[in-house]
Amino acid sequence: QVQLVESGGGLVQPGGSLRLSCAASGSTLSTNAMGWYRRAPGKQRELVAGITSGGRKEYTDAVKGRFTISRTNAKNTVYLQMNSLKPEDTAVYYCYVLTYRYDWGQGTQVTVSS
């Protein structure tokens, strides 16, 4: 089993930046991928960004060019740098790790508002 601890959420004005972090511990030897989902009020959960152990990255179209995912394999930590934030980015962001199953973080609130 993998434990995930997220940090970095908060309130930011439109156009601002935030950096989310997610540290994994436990049974992480067979980690295949890590990344972030989000759930906005009244909407379904959506994949924001993911990165494989080999470094391949994917992003949902809504965040391409604004968000950057990165990962330190040695520390089993994944980051999400979010720039040019928009009100529609407001959501709870959940970190995940994929081994032989998905494990999830507790979620961190990101609110983009003036």
**Residue pLDDT, tens place only, 54-66:** 889 999 999 999 9
Question: What's the N-to-C CA distance of the chain in angstroms?
Answer: 40
Which single residue is written with the structure tokens 């040695």?
Answer: 74
Backbone angles phi, psi at 75, to 5 degrees: -105, 0
Half-sphere exposure of 47 (CA within 13 A, CB side): 14
Mean pLDDT, residues 71-98 taken together? 93
Tell me what pLDDT residue 29 has.
Answer: 67
Does the pLDDT of residue 73 top 80, yes or no?
no
**Residue pLDDT, tens place only, 8-19:** 999 999 999 999
Does the pLDDT of residue 72 top 90, yes or no?
no
Amino acid at 63: V
